[in-house]
Amino acid sequence: MSTENLTWHDAFVTREVRETLLTQKSKLLWFTGLSGSGKSTVANSLDKRLNESGKATYILDGDNIRLGINSDLGFSIEDRSENIRRIGEIGKLFVDAGIITLASFISPLKVDRARVRMALGIDFIEIFVDCPLGVCEKRDPKNLYKKARLGVIKEFTGISSPYEKPDNPEIVINTKQQSLDECVDKILDYLKIGI
């Protein structure tokens, strides 16, 4: 698709005006990690804590996005890349709206996360939810690892498709070693300087 005849239109109400109204700085908090690592659990607990402190937030969750706007995508490397690209664009719009946005996606490839980081710059905060594969498999809340091991699910991250750990995430939490509250507190400690 050609974009040569398209022009970005700036709104009269700017991001800065929205942030002033909301009394916060918007950011995109990008949770990445294996399935079952605790991304959604930590993101939801953080969302609750931020909301209780008066912050305007929204969670973009992998399954929810794939049930809607990205329902046309499969799980090939190309489709996963497009999934992350679209989510990055959605996240960028939410940040422009002044919202603290929590994105919870496996996002297995460094290049895809780097593209979102490039689009958002300092507003992108990568949170690596570190958890050993064996622990994720034991948790397996959706029985996905079991299905992948049986060959029912093809191209499953961590089993038959790669997961590339972040090199320099802003925040690393380990859901095997840290409690849920400790994980959320670590993120909140980091965010105190910027939101």
Q: What average pLDDT score do residues 2-27 get?
A: 88
Q: How many domains does the chain have?
A: 1
Residue 194 has pLDDT above 70, yes or no: no
In a domain, 107, yes or no: yes
What does each C-alpha distance from 125 to 110, 141, 144 come to in angstroms? Answer: 14, 26, 28
Query: How far apart are the C-alpha atoms of 105 and 35, rounded to whole Å?
Result: 9
Alpha helices in 53-109 (DSSP H): 62-67, 77-96
Residue 64 has pLDDT above 80, yes or no: yes
In a domain, 10, yes or no: no
Catalytic, 160? Answer no
Angle, CA 108 vertex, CA 102 and CA 109 arms, to 5°? 110
Task: Locate 8 and state its tokens.
Answer: 């970005």
In a domain, 112, yes or no: yes
CATH code, 37:
3.40.50.300
Q: What average pLDDT score do residues 156-182 get?
A: 94
In a domain, 15, yes or no: no
pLDDT at residue number 4:
81
Confirm if 34 and 157 have CB atoms less than 8 A apart.
yes
Confirm if 51 and 124 have CB atoms less than 8 A apart.
no
Lowest pLDDT segment from 31-35, 128-132, 144-148, 182-186: 144-148
Q: Identify the active-site residue in 26, 35, 37, 107.
A: 107
Averaged confidence pLDDT in the chain: 93
Domain span including residue 183: 23-132+164-191
Lowest pLDDT segment from 25-39, 62-76, 177-191: 62-76
Closest CA to 24 of 57, 60, 61: 57
pLDDT at residue number 10:
84
Residue 193 has pLDDT above 60, yes or no: no
| Residue 48 identity (one-letter amino acid) | K
